[in-house]
Chain A
Amino acid sequence: QSALTQPASVSGSPGQSITISCTGTSSDVGGYNYVSWYQQHPGKAPKLMISDVSNRPSGVSNRFSGSKSGNTASLTISGLQAEDEADYFCTSFTSTNTLVFGGGTKVTVL
């Protein structure tokens, strides 16, 4: 199973909105609504930000939102803040009952 495709880096100024894409195939992203997004700060464990394409767990800021169209899922961060600077990974359940990760996107707040 090939990794999902994410941009290596995305940047934005405080207060702006940014969107991170996550492209897979009909065997993963496009075939299931089981896409999750994780935030990871350096030296820390990943933190769940979005599950099942667009569900935001309790405690996660409503500035984070998720969506999907075809084989591409997206994470949008609105009102960008300094604390949002981190790596972001998408994942999807697959048709072979496995989990596939994206390569990760480094978000920089300018």
Chain B
Amino acid sequence: QVQLVQSGPEVKKPGASVKVSCKASGYAFTNYGITWVRQAPGQGLEWMGWISADYGNTNYAQRVQDRITMTTEKSTSTAYMELRRLRSDDTAVYYCARGAWWDPRDYWGQGTLVTVSS
């Protein structure tokens, strides 16, 4: 069965970086892209960007494009999302989901809480 398992919660200080992982199983990793979405406490969902798992093509949301990098590691079927120069308003649950561009996001990770606090 398809599963996306994300890394554990993180607590970071403002200005630091965080790297969240998303390990895929149950399907051919390079046949699908990965989308990253975040949800601030009590708020809606925000698209952060996506990456193709085969060639690593990316597209990032304008709001974070100068601070974010998405990568994949085909040997371990793992996707990564790194966010730099963290601010308090980056505090959110970060989700990875299978599917990119116009594909439906049909499977989701369990979410990773990133807390940014001094």
Can you show 16 pairs from A to B with CB atoms below 8 A apart? A32-B102, A34-B102, A46-B45, A46-B95, A46-B105, A46-B108, A47-B108, A51-B106, A55-B104, A57-B104, A57-B106, A89-B44, A93-B101, A99-B47, A101-B37, A102-B44
Closest chain B CB from A23 CB (angstroms): 15
Residue of B nearest to A103 (CB): B44
- Contact in complex: B46, A93 (CB < 8 Å): no
In the assembled complex, A36 has its CB within 8 A of some CB on chain B: yes
* Contact residues, B37-69 vs A (CB, 8 A): 37, 44-47, 50, 59, 61
Known contacts A46-B95, A48-B104, A93-B101; is A101 also within 8 Å of B110 by CB?
Answer: no
A110 interface contact, C-beta 8 A:
no
A52 CB within 8 Å of chain B: yes
B105: chain A residues at CB < 8 Å are 36, 38, 46, 48, 91
Is the Cβ of B104 less than 8 Å from the Cβ of A51? yes
B104 touches A104 (CB 8 A): no
**Which size class do A's interface residues fall under?**
20 to 34
How far, in Å, is A3 (CB) from chain B's closest CB? Answer: 7
Q: Is there contact, CB below 8 Å, between A48 and B106?
A: yes
Contacts A47-B108, A99-B50; A93 near B102 (Cβ below 8 A): yes
CB-nearest residue of chain A to B61: A98
CB of A57 to closest CB in B, whole Å: 6
Closest Cβ–Cβ distance, residue B55 to chain A (whole Å) = 15
Contacts of B106 in A (CB 8 A): 48, 51, 57
The reply to whether A99 and B35 form a contact with Cβ atoms under 8 Å apart is yes
Which of B35, B45, B105, B111 neighbours the largest number of chain A CB atoms within 10 Å of its CB? B45
Collect the chain A residues with CB atoms within 8 Å of residue B50's CB.
99
In angstroms, Cα B102 to Cα A58, docked, is 19
A45, B111: Cβ atoms closer than 8 Å = yes
Interface residue? A2 (CB, 8 A): no
The complex places the Cα of A63 from the Cα of B50 at a distance, in Å, of 31
User: Which residues from B are CB-within-8-Å of A57?
Assistant: 104, 106
